[in-house]
Amino acid sequence: MFSNLRERIPQYIRDHKKDFLAFSIALAFFIVFSIFSILQYYSLGTSALDLGINAQSLYTFIHEGMFYSPLLGENTLAQHFTIFKFTQVPIYYIFPSPLSLMIYEDFFIVMGGYIVYLLSMELLKDHIKSMKLLYLVSIGFLLAYEFSPFTESLISFSFHNMAFLPFFFLLAFYAFLTERRVLQIISLAFIISLHANFIYIVAILLLYEFLFLHTSRGKKIGTWLSAKSKPTGIKNFSYFIIFIAILYVYLIFADFMKADISGVSAFSALPTTGEVGTPVSSPFALLLLLFHNPGEFSSIIGTNAGVKIFYLNLLFKSNIYLPLFSPLSLILLLPYIMYAVPSSYAAYYQLGYQYSAMVSGAIYISAIIGTYNVISFGKYIYRHNKSIRLRAKKVSAKIHNNNIWIPVISILIIVVLVISIPFGLLSPPGMQHTDHSTMNDIFEQNSGGAASFLINVSSNLPPNSYILTQNSLMPYFSNDINAYSTPWSPGYYNILPEFRYVVIQNNSFWATQGENHSLQIIVNNGLMNGNYTIINRYSPANIMILENTHNMPA
């Protein structure tokens, strides 16, 4: 088996030289995005939500056996039942720093681009016979994905488990196309492991695959859920129904587990469709509201309408509207549409947040299949329109000899990048569009000594000290089971005497959040009444470390 390995490996590399080059491009983006993450971390650009919570819960699991974080006041599995966190435990055990989570996430995000490349190569080879042209188009899709502001939003938002979704979503569809059932099931399982409610995303993806099997391209797929029957046959349809039922059973199981972890009645965990007329609770309630009160329905949908239109238009424009040529594929966006559009929460449709993970995979599947359909339509017109066929024959020699399609495709790739780059974190200085965006910019990350100072302070404080800090500084103290953050940790203002140390960036934005319970007010009052003593400071960033030496419990 291994006797001719020395000859087989070089041969494999020669046969897949172009794939290795595409993989290398993705790795180059991984390096760039990792540099951004390092700069962001050392520029105080991260936050308790969600980097601090995840890092602290992993540290607590390693040392206490549960994913607890004081920022939630409970086990984090009781929130979203993200069992994917178990894959992060070995990473955090070996490299116990929030930065390791950021870089781990970056790798999965950029590798989504490599899967986009593989999808393009697999789908478009039916129509693009020139390997050089097919490779250029596929590299174009890879670059479009990596430079997309919707991809880079996941990098800009320091950490969230939702950011792993595009990779597994794309991988599941690629496994479906290439008839790798085991890989597809594993990918779908990973999607569900990110969030229990992602069963809806998996259900829509399976529905799309079922419908795709009835298209001209889908009819070439010989295996779906069952290897021993026709993909469009009754047996596979039965498997599809069974899979949907299993997904719903998993949702019930996850809700029961969350209830058990939280210590509440299991019956309160049964899935519901939400109250009638409460759109944010249920798509069904939203549909009922449409018939019951059309005016209120319009008001809800119209909330922040300008931002929603901008976001969705940029989503399509950054792919030169190719997804519109694959209307069937647009059903992949339904989970996001039902989740975000009825909401008034602006972060759902702003660049710079993790919610773009719900559209990143779907939009590139749609764009590639849209390209497939455009080429198919062009070929159909060519075959059935004599005048067009005659004109095409007159210029075919010129097109072939001068290889005109390569510069045309290159120009289209440049157009996509020109549209995308100004909205992303790699935008040149002064060019970044900040409308409807909280996107960071790699050129604006100024790494000073503040983060190193905080890391040093954290490592020198007594283990498991009660620490109160603010949202933007909490990740540097996440390796402490008793680190709390304003303004998020529930009830922190009721246990102020228990905090031995307080860490504040004086008069900063996050220090002043929390109204009468803001960290700034707590510190000012503590200094005024003599409860707090400044034991260390970093003046360039206006950071103070205070110790409670007055009213500590005995």
Range in 180-184, 249-253, 285-289 with the lowest mean pLDDT: 285-289
Q: Residue 539: its pLDDT value, please?
A: 93
The pLDDT of residue 43 is 93
Paired tokens of 353: 């947040």
Q: Which pLDDT tens digit goes with each residue over 457-509?
A: 999 999 999 999 999 999 999 999 999 999 988 889 999 999 999 999 998 99
C-beta of residue 162 within 8 angstroms of C-beta of residue 339:
no
Q: Which of 115-129, 172-186, 190-204, 382-396 shows the lowest per-residue confidence on average (mean pLDDT)?
A: 382-396
Give the residue ranges of DSSP H helices in 97-215.
98-124, 131-147, 149-156, 165-177, 181-194, 199-212
Q: Which amino acid, 478? A: S
Name the more confident of 445 and 98.
98
Work out the angle at residue 362's Cα, subtended by the Cα atoms of residues 132 and 325, and round it to the nearest 5 degrees. Answer: 65
Chain mean position to CA 112: 10
Quote the pLDDT of residue 393.
61
pLDDT score at 273: 38
The answer to whether residues 488 and 471 touch, using CB atoms and an 8 Å cutoff, is yes
Nearest to 56, CA basis, from 84, 103, 34, 88: 88
Closest by CA to 319, choosing from 112, 137, 127, is 137
The answer to whether 167 touches 174, Cβ cutoff 8 Å, is no
Of 450, 455, 460, whose CA–CA distance to 535 is shortest? 460
Q: Are 124 and 368 in contact (CB under 8 A)?
A: yes
Mean pLDDT of 5-11: 65
Question: Helices H, strands E: what count in the chain?
Answer: 21, 7
**Average confidence score pLDDT of the chain:** 87
pLDDT (0 to 100) of residue 442? 78
The whole-number pLDDT of residue 545 equals 96
Reported as a single tens digit per residue, the pLDDT across 383-404 is 766 666 666 566 555 555 546 7
Task: Tell me the average pLDDT across 255-282.
Answer: 57
Tell me which range, 4-18, 42-56, 290-304, is most confidently predicted by mean pLDDT. 42-56
As a whole number, mean pLDDT of residues 168-180 equals 96
Structure tokens at 148: 């997309």
> Does 554 score more than 50 pLDDT?
no
Identify the band that residue 279 occupies on the pLDDT scale cut at 50, 70 and 90: very low
Sign of the Cα torsion 312, 318, 324, 327 reads negative
Query: What is the structure's pLDDT at 388?
Result: 64
Q: Report the amino acid identity of residue 545.
A: I
Single-letter residue type at 54: N
Q: Is the preceding omega at residue 487 within 30 degrees of 0, hence cis?
A: yes
Instruction: pLDDT band for 264, please (50, 70, 90 cuts).
Output: low
Q: What pLDDT is attached to residue 435?
A: 76
Q: How far apart are the first and last CA of the chain?
A: 69
Domain ranges of the chain: 4-45+80-269+303-423, 447-548
Residue with the two structure tokens 């016979």 = 129
Q: What is the dihedral of CA 152, 153, 155, 157, to 10 degrees?
A: 170
> How many whole angstroms separate alpha carbon 173 and alpha carbon 326?
16
pLDDT exceeds 80 at position 286? no
pLDDT category of residue 284 using cuts at 50, 70 and 90: low
Distance of alpha carbon 167 from alpha carbon 184, whole angstroms: 12
The answer on pLDDT for 405 being more than 50 is yes
Radius of gyration of the chain (CA): 26
pLDDT of residue 216: 86
Return the closest-CA partner of residue 449 out of 178, 73, 152, 43.
43
The overall longest dimension of the chain from CA atoms, in Å, is 94
Q: What whole-number percentage of the chain has pLDDT above 70?
A: 87
Give residue 431's pLDDT: 79
| Residue 167 CB partners (closer than 8 Å, separation 6+) | 108, 109, 111, 112, 115, 361
Which run of H or E residues covers position 241?
Answer: helix 234-262
Task: Give the pLDDT mean for 335-347.
Answer: 85
User: DSSP state, 51?
Assistant: I
Query: Between these two residues, 272 and 102, which has the higher pLDDT value?
Result: 102
Determine the 3-state secondary structure of 242 from DSSP: helix
- Alpha helices, DSSP H only, in 318-385? 334-340, 357-384
What pLDDT is recorded for position 484? 96
Residue 255's pLDDT band (cuts 50, 70, 90): confident
Mean local confidence (pLDDT), 185-202: 95
DSSP β-bridge partners for residue 505: 543
What pLDDT, on a 0 to 100 scale, did the predictor assign at position 272? 47
pLDDT of 361 higher than 60: yes
Which of 448, 460, 471 minimizes the C-alpha distance to 538? 448
Where does the pLDDT of residue 411 fall: very low under 50, low under 70, confident under 90, or very high at 90 and above? very high
C-alpha pair distances (Å), 537 with each of 464, 476, 507, 534, 543: 21, 15, 14, 7, 6
Count CB atoms within 10 A of the CB of residue 275. 10
| Per-residue pLDDT band at 283 (split at 50, 70, 90) | low
Please state, in angstroms and as integers, the Cα–Cα distance from residue 534 to each residue in 461, 496, 524, 548, following that order: 14, 17, 12, 9
For residues 320-348, average pLDDT: 91
Q: What is the pLDDT of residues 40-88, one digit of tens each?
A: 999 999 999 889 999 999 999 999 999 999 988 889 998 888 999 999 9
Model confidence band, residue 367 (pLDDT cutoffs 50, 70, 90): very high
Nearest Cα residue to 289 out of 271, 305, 275:
275
Residue appearing with tokens 């069992």: 83
Tokens (6 digits) for 365: 């599947």
Residue 36, burial from CB neighbour count under 10 angstroms (0-12, 13-18, 19+): buried
Count the Cβ atoms, other than its own, within 10 Å of residue 210.
20
Per the CB < 8 A criterion, the answer to whether 196 and 254 are in contact is yes
Q: Which residues contact 231 (CB under 8 A, 6 or more apart)?
A: 213, 218, 221, 222, 223, 224
How far is 74 from 84, CA to CA, in rounded Å? 18
pLDDT band per the 50, 70, 90 thresholds, residue 232: confident
Q: Between 146 and 305, whose confidence is greater? A: 146
